Amino acid sequence: MRKKIIAGNWKMNCTPAQAEALCRKLLPLCEGAQADVVFCVPSVDIPAVTKVLAGSSIAVGAQNMYFEEKGAFTGEISADMLLELGVKYVIFGHSERREYFGETDEMVNRKVKKALSVGLLPIVCCGETLAQREAGIAVEWIRMQVKLALQGICAQDAEKITIAYEPIWAIGTGKTATAQQAQEICGAIRQVLSEIYDQEAAQTMRIQYGGSVNGKNAAELFAMPDIDGGLVGGASLKEEFAVIAHSE
Ligand code: PGA
C-alpha cells in the first residue's frame, strides 16, 4: 500500500519572516495527517521553515537544485547545500521552470541523479499543454517526459522518486482535471514505469496529481487508484492546505 504524499509548492512566495508565520499557522492544522506532508519553499526560506517544523512530521522540500557538485555556477544551489539545511524533497522539471528558465528533460535527468546520489528525494513533474491534449498526444508526451527523466536510473533508486502529473492547462487556472482525466494519465504513467522497470517498482512509486487542487476536489482526486496525493500551488499558501493534507 503506497502512502500518499501531499506537497505544497509555495513557488516564489513568502519572505523568510512570512514563511515562518505561515508555517506556524499551518503546522498544527496539518499534523496528524495520514499522508506524508511536505512544504516546498523558496530556498532562502528553508532555515526559517526547518526551525518551525523541527520535530514535526512535516518535511521540508526545495523547488530546484543544480546538478553540479560545486563551483563556478553563479546563482545556483547545490544538493549538499540543501541536505545540510535539512531538506528532504526537491521538485524538478516543474512546467514553470521548463517554460521560464529553460529546464530541459536532460537537465531534469541530471538533477534527479544528483539528488538521489546524496539521498534527497526527487519530485519529478510532467504534464501536457492544452494544445497537446487537444491533439490527442498527451499520453505519448508524458510517456516521453517520464522516460527521459528516469534515463539511467535503476529501479532501486526510482522507488525513491515521486512523479507529479501536472497538466499545464490546470496549473493556477482554477481548471482542475477531472478525477477521471487525472486517473487516465496517472494510470498511463504507472504503465510506463512498469515498462521501464517492472510491476514491483511501478506499484511502489508514488504519482501525484497537481493543477488547481483545492480543499473541495482533493478527496475525489486522491481516491483514484493511481493518484497517490497532490502537488499543490495556490492553495498551499492558505489554511485550506490543511484540508487537502487530510483528504484521503
Ligand atoms: P496550482 O499549482 O495548485 O496553483 O494550480 C500547482 C503547481 O504548479 O504545482
Contact (Cβ atoms closer than 8 angstroms) between residue 240 and residue 214: yes
| Counted domains in the chain | 1
Q: Note the helical H segments in 37-78.
A: 46-53
Q: What percent of the chain has pLDDT over 70?
A: 100
Name the pTM for this structure: 0.98
DSSP state, residue 178 = P
- Which of 96, 128, 166, 240 is flagged as catalytic? 166
Cβ atoms within 10 Å, residue 55: 5
Determine whether 94 is an active site residue: yes
Q: How far is the CA of 72 from the centre of ligand 1 (A)?
A: 32
Averaged pLDDT for residues 137-149 = 98
Q: Which residues line ligand 1 (CB under 6 A)?
A: 9, 166, 171-172, 210-213, 231-235
**96, 213, 244, best to mutate for ligand 1 pocket (most atoms within 8 Å of CB):** 213
Kindly give the distance from the C-alpha atom of residue 168 to the centroid of ligand 1, in angstroms, as a whole number: 9
- Are 37 and 245 in contact by the 8 Å Cβ rule? The answer is yes
Q: Cell 516546498 sits at which residue?
A: 40
Mean pLDDT of 223-229: 98
Q: What is the pLDDT of residues 81-127, one digit of tens each?
A: 999 999 999 999 999 999 999 999 999 999 999 999 999 999 999 99
Summarize the confidence of residues 166-180 as an average pLDDT. Answer: 94
Residue 1 is predicted with a pLDDT of 82
Name the residue of 212, 222, 240, 244 to mutate for ligand 1: max ligand atoms within 8 A of Cβ: 212
Among 94, 128, 240, 248, which one carries the catalytic annotation?
A: 94
Q: Give the model's pLDDT for residue 140.
A: 98
CA 213 to ligand 1: nearest atom: 3
Q: Compute the Cα dihedral for 172, 163, 119, 27 and give only its sign.
A: positive
CATH of the domain at 198: 3.20.20.70
Q: Would you say residue 129 has pLDDT above 90?
A: yes
Protein residue whose Cα sits closest to atom 3 of ligand 1: 233
Hey, which residues does 116 pair with through a beta bridge?
Answer: none
Range of the domain at 159: 5-245
Give distance in angstroms: CA of 191 to centre of ligand 1. Answer: 24
pLDDT score, position 160: 98
| CA 233 / ligand 1 centre spacing (Å) | 3
